[in-house]
Amino acid sequence: MAEEATGGLQIHPMDQFIVKPLFGGDAIHWYTPTNVTLWMAISVLCVVLLLVIGTRGRAIVPSRMQSVAELAYGFVYKMVEDVAGKDGLKYFPYIMTLFIFIVFANFLGLIPTAFTTTSHIAVTATMALAVFFGVTILGFVKHGAGFLRLFWIDQAPLVLRPILAIIEIISYFVRPVSHSIRLAGNMMAGHAVIKVFAGFAGVLGVGAVFPLAAITAVYALETLVAFIQAYVFAILTCVYLRDALHPHH
Amino acid sequence: MASETHTAEGAAHAADAAAHGGEAVGMPQLDFSTFPNQIFWLVVTLVVIYFVLSRIALPRIGAVLAERQGTIANDIATAEELKLQAQEAERAYEKALADARAEAQRIVAETKAEIKADLDAATAKADAEIAAKQAEAEAQIAEIRAGAMESVTEVAKQTALDVVAAMGFRADASSVNAAVDAKLKG
């Protein structure tokens, strides 16, 4: 970005987000194995390691890995049950898939030199749009035209209802935008900030302790954000799912 | 050290970016040419994770949790039952203890009564014996006293007779005796 122009200070905070083919070459076709492929594969590997290998003992008294897997399961299960209701539990595997993928993608992205797949709007928007179309179709399938009552707020005075309906419809269509940009933006910003501080550390010599301390602090914050953003993404999905299942406020 | 690798990587990226036609100039996130690639691999990833979760991981973890729940519920029920049994055993123990105590008390009372009866009988017997002995002794004493009285009368009569004789009178023994008797009675 702008920093690139300032002579000796070589900071390329956005370079870490470049999608590159894994095995050389320039062209990125839809099927080309890229660093996206690599880090998504690693996250799949981690999911399998935690949730399949970790639980293979099926122990009544769980091992550490199994404990973590059960914790993740219970955490998402309870979230779906609390937010979307009992009938939302049918969709628990989908929400668990999204949550566990985002968690691992976020945390793997925190490894230095790693590629953060969830920092790309293409990835988060695909997931957000999948959720958006999924719950919208589900709402119409479950309630038919009655799903539109979601936008018609019965509790409000009659004169206000059309205005509220317009606002509700706009906010409904903004959902996938906020849903996706929130995650990608958080991931990108944190990583870029770390990279900027790292660039400072490179030219400051002994004074590098200050940017290094800042990197440490930002990294700690990013660790928190990595989890919270996955949680937020999953819980918003649950909220949208609840609206689709129970559109009558 | 991290910064060095970062800058080295940055340089590599820059070279790479140059090869790609200046990608790193803007936000790589907005390079739409990479979108199909990312979306394709994302869909593959999500489908794989979904099948791994829905076919293997989630049913397994759910089963383990349910089993644990069942085991815990079972254990609690068993514990409850054992507690009841323990309470019952304690009650039985208390009852046995109370029974034993009552039995002991009964035996003590019985024995005490027996001993008392024996003692009473012995006391009565001893009392009777003592009374008999006392009566006997009293009779003896009375006899001795009577004997002594007689001896005193005898001695008094003899002495009176001797005194009269010594004074030079002749006295009839029977009148002296009568006088002494009268004197003794008086």
Q: Where are the domains of chain B?
A: 14-185
Do A31 and B37 lie within an 8 Å CB cutoff?
yes
pTM of whole model > 0.90? no
CA pair distance A43, A35, nearest whole angstrom: 12
Is A21 in a helix, a strand, or coil? strand
Do B6 and A43 lie within an 8 Å CB cutoff?
no
Which of A20, A78, A90, A200 has the highest number of chain B CBs within 10 A, making it the mutation to test binding with B? A20
B4 has a pLDDT exceeding 60? no
Burial track A111-140 (b if 16+ CB lie within 10 A, e otherwise)? eeebbbbbbbbbbbbbbbebbbebbbebbe
CB < 8 Å to A11, chain B: 10
Q: What token pair was written down for B159?
A: 């002495």
Do B61 and A52 lie within an 8 Å CB cutoff?
no
Does residue A244 contact residue A140 with C-beta atoms inside 8 Å?
no
> pLDDT per residue over B51-97, tens digit each?
999 999 999 999 999 999 999 999 999 999 999 999 999 999 999 99
Cβ-nearest to A15 among B14, B19, B58 = B14
CA pair distance B99, B111, nearest whole angstrom: 18
> pLDDT per residue over B147-156, tens digit each?
888 888 888 8
Shortest CA gap B78–chain A (Å): 17
> pLDDT per residue over A111-158, tens digit each?
988 999 999 999 999 999 999 999 999 999 999 888 988 888 888 888
Average pLDDT in the B37-45 region? 94
Q: Give residue A25's region: left, alpha or beta (phi > 0; psi -120 to 50).
A: left
